[in-house]
Structure 1
Amino acid sequence: MSRLLSIFMIGLGTYFAYHNRYRLINVIFGNVFLRKLLVTSIMSFPLVRDRMMSSVFSSGPSEGRQ
């Protein structure tokens, strides 16, 4: 019975998190500590870091124009 209750509570929490996802994102990015923690943890993945750095420092079509 407790297992069924746990599954129900996880489903209910997931539903409310999905329903209020934009509000949760605003809370996370509004808090300086949580924002730094999130960015630091995402940038610790090599694939994400490499793609981010290549897109920020890419030599696109605007290079050479003045």
Structure 2
Amino acid sequence: MLKRLLSILFFSAAGYVVFQNRYKVMNMILGNAMLRRIAVTSMMGIPGVRSRMMRTVFSGPSEFN
């Protein structure tokens, strides 16, 4: 019981710290070529993200130009 409570507390604290430093974490991940490749590959594996990205990249001329 105590071990489980400590695990929950630890992961909550770690999640809070990562959330507070999320832009630094993203810069660290995207600054490394290998981690960037893994991040992009995994994000493109999500169907909703992939379709939205393809629609944005390969859409016609924007009406806001």
Question: What range is the shorter-chain TM-score in?
Answer: 0.7 to 0.9
Looking at structure 1, the residues matched to 59 and 13 of structure 2 have their Cα atoms a distance apart, in angstroms, of: 44
Unaligned runs of 5+ in 1: none
Instruction: Map 1:1-66; keep pairs closer than 5 Å.
Output: 1-61=2-62
Deviations 1:6-28 (A, max 9, x none): 01101110111111111101100
The 1:43–1:3 alpha-carbon spacing in structure 2 relative to 1, beyond 3 Å, is same
Instruction: For structure 2, list consecutive stretches of 5 or more residues without a partner in the other structure.
Output: none
Q: Which has the higher contact order (CA 8 A, sep 6+)?
A: 2
Relative to the length of structure 2, the TM-score reads: 0.83
Question: In percent, how many aligned pairs have the same letter?
Answer: 45
Query: What TM-score results when the alignment is normalised by the length of structure 1?
Result: 0.82
- Counterpart of 1:24, as a letter, is V
Structure 1 residue ranges (4+ consecutive) displaced by more than 6 angstroms after TM superposition? none
How many aligned positions are there?
A: 62
State the shift of 1:60 in Å. 2.7
RMSD: 1.4
Q: Secondary structure at the match of 2:60?
A: coil
